Amino acid sequence: MSGTVCLTFDFDSFSGELPGGSPGDLSRAEFAAVGVPRILNLLEHYAIPATWFVPGHTADTYPTLCRDIVRAGHEVALHGYAHENNSRLTADEERRVTRHAYEAVAEVLGERPKGARTPSWDLSPATLDILTELGLVYDSSLMAHDYRPYYVRRDDRHSIEGPSRLGESSRLLELPISWSLDDWPAFETNGRGRALHNARLVFENWRDDVAYMLRDFDDGVVTLTSHPEVTGRGHRLLGYERLVGEIRQMGVTFSRMDTVADGVLAGRAYGRYHPQHGSFGERPPG
């Protein structure tokens, strides 16, 4: 079966430690600028288009690096301004911050971005309306599926005293993600005792997510999320190179997220569950 893999990178840099980051935390964030050229080199070697989610603060701080990303043929999309948690902002504050981010990224692109990923995948009740007001086509912050894009619902109602009531679909397309396919929780530490996992084993998990998609879904699409300050470290980058090489051999298509969104809008039905008869226990594709 065919399938699509979206390689995505959150170029947070300093924005992830503001306000009040310690000198040590800020220096770790600064390493993102070291990791970006390494990742761009890897993507160029394999001729893979990717999507970069760039906070407005990063676009303003590193305009040359961000333009390098664009010149290399990659998509740049929104990721807040200073990596704010939307649920801690008022609707007016969130609207102002998101527009500020939009303008900063549009300045780098020279055109309007099509997509967004909320910082820390944190949404407020106002987020959907704000992204729609800006004319965005897709979001990539939610986890209600793994291999199928879907339209974000409006006005769900949840209660412990009765069943959840699901709202109506909006015009905003969701290209779903997962914490289990994000490098940050697997590898990052603040020096407070969190374990740093073995890169080979983590990326083996990611590979198997792709293998399962190819086995049991028609034309599925999966999103992998990395940060240049995390995966850009030497041993992890070697592991990531192995991962990319392995899933290339599975025959997948690598795609920017705006390309996937355009496909959905054109009527392409990604991610139909179609388990193969007798596939249990068989070796996955690749």
- 280 located within any domain: no
**Residues spanned by the domain of 135:** 3-273
Residue 204 lies in a domain: yes
Query: Does residue 129 lie within any of the structural domains?
Result: yes
- Count up the domains in the chain and report the number: 1
pLDDT tens digits for 53-99?
Answer: 999 999 999 999 999 999 999 999 999 999 999 999 999 999 999 99
**pLDDT at residue 59, as a whole number:** 96
Residue 282 included in any domain: no
Tell me the pLDDT band of 156, cut-offs 50, 70 and 90. Answer: confident
At 1 the pLDDT is 59
Please report whether residue 121 resides in a domain: yes
Q: Map residue 258 onto helix, strand or coil.
A: helix
Within-domain flag for 99:
yes
Pick the closest to residue 80 from 107, 108, 54 (CA basis): 54
CA angle 14, 16, 22 (to 5 degrees): 70
Mean per-residue pLDDT of the chain: 93
The domain that holds 164 is classified in CATH as 3.20.20.370
Q: What is the pLDDT of residue 20?
A: 81
Per-residue pLDDT at 95: 97
pLDDT at 195: 59
| Average pLDDT for 151-174 | 92
**Residue 103 confidence (pLDDT):** 97
Whole-prediction pTM: 0.94
Helix (H, G, I), strand (E, B) or coil at 165: strand
Whether 215 maps to a domain, the answer reads yes
For position 286, what pLDDT does the model report? 57
Q: Which of 30, 9, 34 is nearest to 21 (CA)?
A: 30
Q: What is the pLDDT of residue 276?
A: 78
Decide if 183 is inside a domain.
yes
Q: How far is residue 25's CA from residue 234's CA, in Å, rounded to a whole number?
A: 19
